[in-house]
Structures are given as C-alpha cells and as structure tokens.
Amino acid sequence: MSCVIFGAGKIARGFVGHLLYLSGIDFVFVEKVDALCDLINERGEYLVNILGDSSKNTVVKNAKALKFSQMDEISKAIAEADCIFDAVGGKNLMEIVPLLTAGIELRAVKNPKPINIITCENWKLPADILRNGIEAQIKEEYKEFFHENVGITEAVIMRSAIEATPELLEKDPLVVNAQNFWKFPFDASRIKAPMPEMMCIEPIYEFTGFLERKFYTYNAANGTTSFVGALLGYKYIADAASDERILKLLDGVYTETATALSKKHNFPFDEQWAFTRTSLNKLQDRNIVDYIERNARDPMRKLGPDDRLVGSARLCLSLGVKPENLAVAIACAIHYEEPSDEFAVQLKNMRENEGYDAVIEKVCKLDPNGELGLLIKEKIQLIKEWGWLK
C-alpha cells in the first residue's frame, strides 16, 4: 500500500502524512520547494506536535520527498500508488496538473487500475480545477482511461496546522504544531477505487454543500477574526476571538452565513448554528497558538470575489440575506497593514493612492456603486466612527 501526497507543507505533513503513517501506509511527498525536499530526505522524519495533548505527539519516520523536476520518478510513483492526495494550496493547483497528467498516462500503460485523487484544500471546487485541467492536457488515447478509472474528489480539512515555536523548530525544522482534531471527511460519491484503510477517514455520500458549508462558516469567521483583530491590535487569534466587540460581530457573521447556507442547501438552521459553535470553539482554543499575521496573510487574495469574506457576502445577497456584519469585516480587511507582507503593502498603496472604489473594483471585483460595494463603503465610515481606524 502506497500513496502520493502533492505538497509537503503543514497540512500535508501534519495531517495527511500523519494519518497515513499512523495507518501503516507508505507515502512520498511531491514538493515544489527543492530545499524542503532536501530537508525531508536528509532528516527522514519529523515531529507532529498535537496542541493540548502531548501524549498524541508522533514522530513520523521514513519520510521522503520528490522534487517537481523529478518527473519520471513522480510518474512512476503515481502509476504504482493506491491513492493520491494534494495539499498544495488552492492557488497552486494548476501547477500540479502536468505532473498528475503524466502520471495518469503512465499508469494507463503500466498499471491500468482505478485510482482516486483526494483534494485537501481550503478552496472552492478544487476537484473541478484538477479534473478540468487534466482533461485539457491528457492525450486523446488516455482520455477513456482517465474518465473511467480516475476519481477526483474533495476532503474537508478541519484540523489546523500552524507554525511551531522557534524553540521547537530549532530541535526539528520540519515539526508541525497540529490541532487535536482527527476527522477526515471526504466526498465518497466520486471515487473510482477503494480507499486505503486510513484511520479517521470518513466517507460521506451526501456531500453537497459540505465543503461550501465549511468554507463559508470557518473561513468567513477566521477572516473576520483575523482582519478585525489586526485592526484592534491583537497578535493571537484566540485573544481576538474573545474580544466582546469581535464576538458581537462574529455572532452577526455566523447568523448571516448560517441563514444563507441553510437556504441554499436545505440544512436545518439549528444544525447549521450548532456547526458555527464548533468554529467559534476552535477560534477561542488557547491550545492553538495561532497568529493574526499568519491568518491575514495575502489580503488581496482573501478579499477576492469568491473568497471567505466577499464570497460569503455575495452568497448571502444572492439568497436575500443582507451581509451587514460581513461588510464590516470586509471594511476592516481593506485597511489591513503588515509591512512584511508584500500583498498587504500593495493593498495599502492602492487604498491610499487610488481610493476605496479602486480596491472594491480591482481586488474584490465588485461594482463600487452596486449594493455590496455601497454597503462596504458605508461600513468603512462606520468603523471610522467607532474609532477602529487610527
């Protein structure tokens, strides 16, 4: 039994690789950053540090990685694998399409057995991105094999994996601090092969809305806490999520997204509201020492039209829910500043030199004088009145 994991970042090492190792399943990372590959291959192991319960800490042994440049070895690994996972970050999905395509073509010739690709991304429709990308690149003679034997589906990643402290990193530069959360739900309706006997994996056959539910609940709340927390001077997520001003705003955000998601996917509202409590509990968990800066990083992407805040607000509007609280969060995000973040610097320059309308139009991809654009500008004035802007 063997698996391939595209990506060797914190989720790849601290969740997917961790669970495969505990399940006794061999795996190899495929990683874009050569230095990270070299480090994995040199050390051959890394620590997964479970926050709040050190008894569950694990040293993952026999770790190995392939570089993107090792295309032949990657194709062979895919041809022989029992399952493929990816945790590369949604914006990087298209970069792995040529590698997946070459591997599938070799598999069709050398080992024509069905296989699944499981996306492990906080991203909208990641399986569709991979499927459409492979469909466009795969050679005509292998398309039938691809259609009939390659299942591409999605998992919902609920565990947080965050940067370790400098003290831990000095002992193990590959260490991952991981949340004490173990469920690994995935959409079982789109698989084409039996899944590996992997601990904690949960097949869900009625998956419609599950990923969107997580994204527009957890990620919207995280974005609200991060950007408002930054504006109010917080360093840690748990501290910001315990501020009464942010809690009041979060309650409104949860109400807006829960109402919209319940309408769209026919979830009972009470069930969706209970789901929001699991999100709040995670944000307030002080065992998870997570930084505002990490969560707010790359604000121009996170203010995109389909991302956590603007995407949630657009979803709400499309279902007749006015996103008053989400608009406050967006107004705060527009004012995010962090000198070490090149995208935050770009956002600040655009805001100060071109104005709010430019940010709303160019970054959020909204009409500045449309319903949501006007609401965001209204909330910018409101947070000024509240004294949240220095």
pLDDT digits (tens, 9 = 90+) for 284-342: 999 988 999 999 999 999 999 999 999 999 999 999 999 999 999 999 999 999 999 99
Do residues 104 and 134 touch, judged by C-beta distance below 8 A?
A: yes
CATH of the domain at 291: 1.10.1040.10
The reply to whether 376 and 293 lie within a common domain is: yes
* Helix ranges, 138-243 (H): 143-149, 166-171, 210-214, 220-231, 237-240
Task: Give the pLDDT of residue 209.
Answer: 79
The reply to whether 35 and 61 lie within a common domain is: yes
Specify the amino acid at residue 51: L
The reply to whether 37 and 120 lie within a common domain is: yes
Positive/negative CA dihedral, 352, 358, 362, 367: positive
The reply to whether 169 and 317 lie within a common domain is: no
The reply to whether 217 and 165 lie within a common domain is: no
Domain boundary among 204, 234, 268: 204
379 is a domain residue: yes
Task: Give the pLDDT of residue 124.
Answer: 82
96-118 in b/e form (b: 16+ CB < 10 A) is bbebbbbbbbbbbeeeeeebbbb
Number of domains observed in the structure of the chain: 2
From residue 274, alpha-carbon distances to 111, 270, 280, 311, 354 in Å are 46, 6, 10, 22, 42
DSSP-assigned beta bridge partners for residue 119 = 86, 154
57 is a domain residue: yes
The reply to whether 105 and 130 lie within a common domain is: yes
| Angle, alpha carbons 8-11-14 (nearest 5°) | 90
The reply to whether 166 and 24 lie within a common domain is: yes
3-state DSSP: the chain helix, strand, coil percent, rounded to 5? 55, 15, 30
342 is a domain residue: yes
390 is a domain residue: no
Task: Give the pLDDT of residue 366.
Answer: 98
The reply to whether 324 and 360 lie within a common domain is: yes
154 is a domain residue: yes
Please name the helix (run of DSSP H) or strand (run of DSSP E) that holds residue 154, with its range, or none. Answer: strand 150-154
277 is a domain residue: yes
Task: Give the pLDDT of residue 46.
Answer: 98
Domain boundary among 204, 221, 245: 204
95 is a domain residue: yes
The reply to whether 153 and 244 lie within a common domain is: no
CATH of the domain at 184: 3.40.50.720
The reply to whether 307 and 179 lie within a common domain is: no
The reply to whether 55 and 178 lie within a common domain is: yes
Do residues 304 and 310 touch, judged by C-beta distance below 8 A?
A: yes
From residue 56, alpha-carbon distances to 100, 160, 337 in Å are 34, 15, 37
Structural domain of residue 313, as residue ranges? 210-385
Domain boundary among 204, 221, 248: 204
111 is a domain residue: yes
Tens-binned pLDDT, residue by residue, of the chain (390 aa): 899 999 999 999 999 999 999 999 999 999 999 999 999 999 999 999 999 999 999 999 999 999 999 999 999 999 999 999 999 999 999 999 999 999 999 999 999 999 999 999 988 889 999 999 999 999 999 999 999 999 999 999 989 998 888 999 999 999 999 999 999 999 999 999 999 999 999 999 878 778 888 889 999 999 999 999 999 999 999 999 999 999 999 999 999 999 999 999 988 999 999 999 999 999 999 998 899 999 999 999 999 999 999 999 999 999 999 999 999 999 999 999 999 999 999 999 999 999 999 999 999 999 999 999 999 999 999 999 999 997
Task: Give the pLDDT of residue 195.
Answer: 95
Task: Please choose, from the candidates 335, 324, 330, 332, the residue with its C-alpha nearest in 3D space to the C-alpha of residue 254.
Answer: 324
The reply to whether 113 and 241 lie within a common domain is: no
